[in-house]
Amino acid sequence: MRKPVIAGNWKMYKLLSEAVDTAVALKPLVANANHCEVIIAPVFTALKTVADRVEGSNIKVASQNCAAQNDFGAHTGEIAPVMIKDAGCSHAIIGHSERRQFYGDTDESVNKKAHAAIAAGLVAIVCVGEHLSERESGNANSVVAGQLNTGLAGLTVADMERIIIAYEPVWAIGTGKTATPEQAQEMHSHIRQTVAASHGNEVADAVRILYGGSVKPDNIATLMSQPDVDGALVGGASLEADSFASIVNYK
Ligand code: PGA
């Protein structure tokens, strides 16, 4: 059985005090959510404080990016996965489409970051997803397969236990346009087949595949009813404790 994961990506929102307030408000609201893993991803400057404040609860903390290496050195502005772990995080989001579009992440850098995150003992939430034009031209499946084959290259079967995949069609992020449950299921099944081809059936059966893109309290249940949808990566609707909690408590 794959344990569902509901992760909130706070993007570049919230000052430190606001991040703490949201995390603290969330704690009692999701305290009984034993059916899934609950993760929040604040900005880097809030990670340590938020991680301290949710310690002992069922809320885990993720970074929204990480460096591609763990060796200390001349990498101005970068933050190593070991440092993210040291700040109290258990997960790192890698290759979010905003980073691919605007901050230079490529399938190759995603791969390096995934290796580095796993080496540091983090779980890597690797994001993939096609642009609207790629979907419209019928290339969504090959684009996503390419992102996976390069992004997960060289990871062993054991490494794959520390990988979560997030499928986020770029056209659905922050647009209010969700993939239909059928579109999500179709792509998630394709993703699982792609992982089966690269890492074997057992890995493919075990890997959690999250859907992301305009997930809201009123569409989470139908998305989760799809057999290959194992959770959600939530942006906008994760910023308020109440709405994120109702997504977590979709059951
Ligand atoms: P959204 O963002 O839920 O606001 O569409 C999802 C994401 O970018 O992870």
Domain that holds residue 49: 5-248
Residue 203 in tokens: 């890995």
Residues 144-151 have a mean pLDDT of: 98
134 C-alpha to ligand 1 centroid (Å): 19
Contacts for 21 with CB less than 8 Å, ≥ 6 apart: none
Pocket test of ligand 1: the residue of 39, 91, 178, 234 to mutate, having most ligand atoms within 8 Å of its CB, is 234
Report pTM: 0.98
CATH number at residue 90: 3.20.20.70
Q: Inform me whether the pLDDT recorded for 178 exceeds 90.
A: no
Q: Following CA atoms 173, 178, 184, 188 in sequence, which dihedral angle do they give, to the nearest 10 degrees? A: 20
- In sequence order, what E strands does 17-116 have? 37-41, 59-63, 91-94
Give the C-alpha separation, 240 to 176, whole Å. Answer: 17
Ligand 1 atom closest to the Cα of residue 98 is: 8
pLDDT above 70: percentage of residues in the chain: 100
CA of 115 to the centre of ligand 1 (A): 24
Q: For ligand 1, atom 6, which residue shows the shortest CA distance?
A: 235
Q: Ligand 1: does its nearest atom lie under 6 Å from the Cβ of 234?
A: yes
For the chain, the straight-line distance linking the first and the last C-alpha, in angstroms and rounded, comes to 16
Nearest to 65, CA basis, from 110, 121, 18: 110
Domain count, the chain: 1
For residue 222, give both structure tokens.
């139908």
* Residue nearest atom 2 in ligand 1 by C-alpha distance: 235
| pLDDT tens-digit series, residues 17-42 | 999 999 999 999 999 999 999 999 99
